[in-house]
């Protein structure tokens, strides 16, 4: 087996698809010490700049003093603390949904929700660019997974006419392209077909909508249009974990059936306390979202003048398409030599021929940070790498 594994690893290296970890030597932020070198990072999902905020750090310390470090057990045994319960209630109030259920990660949330709600006799319709966790959730459920062309509600409607349906699942903001799903159209299709609509808003919560309530609120859609909302807490919220939000019946069903909720240790209560502190800032600090919008607008204007191949994204996710994995990797390495950290995103994360730099902005980025990024991008070796 070892020889076969080595051959596969060699194949990945030759195809410029090998992935390597970096060691970050200090707390999260836009300026990092990585592998012994100071860099400015434009690849984090800490959109609001909260991951190292003093209020969150203080809340985490208070939580440790009160609850200790570990939760000790699954939520359904002795792991569901008062901190977890309070966070669920505060998230439900924030999102305007009857109830919320915490999960350890966004991946586990999508696996648990989909596999709890559908089975062999059902169909799940998903956007072709959905996050891997949504696709894997459908596969784990043993339902029939059907994928419609990206953001094409018309194609979805035609596919729905071919047979029964149970669930339509989509990202709210697509993590590698940065564009928004056409949620009003998808909601109309779901209602016409009698299907449930599930939205994974990992990259919308905290960034879009009133007070950062996400992409559904951005389009003024509620529980009646999208009955299942999933979100993460490790991106704009700046902590760790995830949640599912919906009706009382939905949450009770997940408590009884979602295996990735039932059979895993609950997150540390102290993290829930830090998230409660973060939620206050998410709701209050509109200036963080305003700053993000300003950075994105300025970046897109100048990048357009430079002729960079941008995708059409209104969010803090700003991809620059390189095409080949080799070119994307060369661009990333060229930026890193100038102290700018931007990851090269390559297949299978994105389709063949669409490798890219995935630039992400944080409200903590300064005007000087943006200028340094644009100067470095202007000098990318655009033609040297095929």
Q: What residues are labeled active site?
A: 175, 203, 235
Measured between its terminal Cα atoms, the distance across the chain in Å is 34
Contact 146, 159 (CB under 8 A): yes
Tokens of 188: 């109309």
SS (H, E, C) 19-60: CCCCCECCCCCCEEEECCEEEEECCCCCCCCCCCCHHHHHHH
User: Is the dihedral angle over the CA atoms 96, 255, 138, 155 positive or is it negative?
Assistant: negative
In this structure, the dihedral spanned by the alpha carbons of residues 106, 111, 114 and 118, taken in order and rounded to 10 degrees, is: -170
Nearest C-alpha neighbor of 190 from the set 144, 221, 217: 221
Nearest C-alpha neighbor of 271 from the set 27, 46, 71, 25: 71
User: Helix, strand or coil for residue 13?
Assistant: helix
Q: What is the C-alpha R_g of the chain? A: 21
Sheet order of strands, 144-148 included: 99-103, 242-246, 228-232, 196-200, 167-171, 123-127, 144-148
The residue assigned the tokens 């973060």 is: 278
The residue assigned the tokens 């760790």 is: 240
Burial of 57 (0-12, 13-18, 19+ CB in 10 A): middle
Contact 115, 94 (CB under 8 A): no
The residues, any chain, with a CB within 8 Å of residue 107's CB and separated by 6 or more, are 132, 133, 136
């Amino acid at each position: 087996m070892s020889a076969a594994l080595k051959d596969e690893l060699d194949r990945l290296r030759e195809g410029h698809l090998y992935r390597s970890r970096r060691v970050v030597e200090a707390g999260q932020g836009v300026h990092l010490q990585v592998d012994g070198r100071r860099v400015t990072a434009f690849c984090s999902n800490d959109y609001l700049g909260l991951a190292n905020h003093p209020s969150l750090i203080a809340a985490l310390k208070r939580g440790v003093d009160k609850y200790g470090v570990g939760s000790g057990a699954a939520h359904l045994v002795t792991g569901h603390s008062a901190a977890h319960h309070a966070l669920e209630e505060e998230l439900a109030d924030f999102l305007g949904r009857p109830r919320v259920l915490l999960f350890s990660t966004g991946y586990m949330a999508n696996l648990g929700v989909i596999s709890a709600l559908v089975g062999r006799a059902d169909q799940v319709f998903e956007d072709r660019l959905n996050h891997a966790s949504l696709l894997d959730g459908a596969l784990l459920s043993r339902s029939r997974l059907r994928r419609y062309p990206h953001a094409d509600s018309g194609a979805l409607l035609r596919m729905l006419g071919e047979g029964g349906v149970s669930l339509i699942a989509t990202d709210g903001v697509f993590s590698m392209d940065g564009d928004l799903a056409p949620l009003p159209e998808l909601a109309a299709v779901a209602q016409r077909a009698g299907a449930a609509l599930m939205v994974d808003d990992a990259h919308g919560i905290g960034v879009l909508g009133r007070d950062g309530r996400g992409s559904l609120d951005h389009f003024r859609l509620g529980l009646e249009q999208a009955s299942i909302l999933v979100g993460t807490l490790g991106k704009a919220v700046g902590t760790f974990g995830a949640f599912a939000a919906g009706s009382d019946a939905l949450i009770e069903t997940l408590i009884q059936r979602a295996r990735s909720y039932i059979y895993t240790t609950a997150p540390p209560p102290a993290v829930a306390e830090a998230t409660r502190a973060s939620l206050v800032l998410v709701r209050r600090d509109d200036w963080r979202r305003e700053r993000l919008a300003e950075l994105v607008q300025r970046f897109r204007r100048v990048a357009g003048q430079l002729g960079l191949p941008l995708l059409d994204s209104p969010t803090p996710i700003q991809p620059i398409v390189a095409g080949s994995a080799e070119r994307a990797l060369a661009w990333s390495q060229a930026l890193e030599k100038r102290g700018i950290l931007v990851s090269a995103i390559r297949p299978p994360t994105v389709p063949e021929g669409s490798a890219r730099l995935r630039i992400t902005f944080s409200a903590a980025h300064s005007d000087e940070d943006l200028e340094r990024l644009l100067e470095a991008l202007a000098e990318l070796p655009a033609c040297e790498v095929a």
